[in-house]
Chains A and B, each alone.
Chain A
Amino acid sequence: QSVLTQPPSVSAAPGQKVTISCSGSSSNIGQNYVFWYQQFPGTAPKLLIYDNNKRPSGIPDRFSGSKSGTSAILGITGLQTGDEADYYCGTWDSSLSAVVFGGGTKLTVL
């Protein structure tokens, strides 16, 4: 049981937009920055978004992040088949004194 809640899967057609939600509580998302990772099968996670909405160098602006209250959203526009991957949200939980993650969302580009 993950501390952060993500939908197990989302899907959309190429070129479309998709959003992935990440729900937490006042002790984690509510008071700390959120980050997002992208993970392809058999590979290490890759940082997509940090500090709620910042993109590391090299991450296209098709990827965006936002946070409101105790929830965060990852948005992906102009979907490509190469975006098919698992996406994880994460943050610090001040009550647990631990980094916590969502259970991951599998993106399918139909």
Chain B
Amino acid sequence: QVQLVQSGAEVKQPGASVKVSCKASGYTFTGYFIQWVRQAPGQGLEWMGWINPDSGGTNYAQKFQGRVTMTRDTSISTAYMELSSLTSDDTAVYYCAREPRIGETDIHYWYSDIWGRGALVTVSS
């Protein structure tokens, strides 16, 4: 079945980086965008950006520009999100989510129809 399987929980020290993976299965990886959304404990959803697994093109939310890098490895249908210079404010569950795409265009629908289970990243000294 269609699913996104994310890497496990991580504990990082302030100033470190974290890289979360998201392995897709059950569909054509390059046929959909991958979005990254995070949720701090007890808080709402926060969009971080997207990657086009086909072209590798990315777009990041302004808040994270300079600190986030989204990549993909099409050979293993896996997307990655790396966040650097971590602070305690980055403690959150990080979700990857599939976004439908119109053919081979870069036209977005913006909603996500399939979500990973999330990866908890805890930043603590």
Contacts and interface: CB of A to CB of B under 8 A. Distances in A.
A99 B62 CA distance: 11
A37 B115 CA distance: 11
Given A88-B45, A90-B45, A35 B59 contact: no
Contact of B115 (A32, A45, A103): A45
A101 B111 contact: no
B44 A44 contact: no
Interface residues of B, number: 21
A51 B46 CA distance: 20
A101 B47 CA distance: 8
Contacts of B61: 98
A102 interface: yes
Interface residues of A, number: 26
A56 interface: yes
Most buried by A among B47, B111, B113: B111
Interface of A: 2, 32-33, 35, 37, 43-47, 50-51, 56, 88, 90-92, 96-104
28 contacts: A32-B110, A33-B110, A37-B45, A43-B117, A44-B95, A44-B116, A44-B117, A45-B45, A45-B95, A45-B112, A45-B115, A46-B115, A47-B111, A50-B111, A51-B109, A88-B45, A90-B45, A90-B111, A91-B110, A97-B62, A98-B62, A99-B37, A99-B110, A100-B47, A101-B44, A101-B46, A103-B44, A104-B45
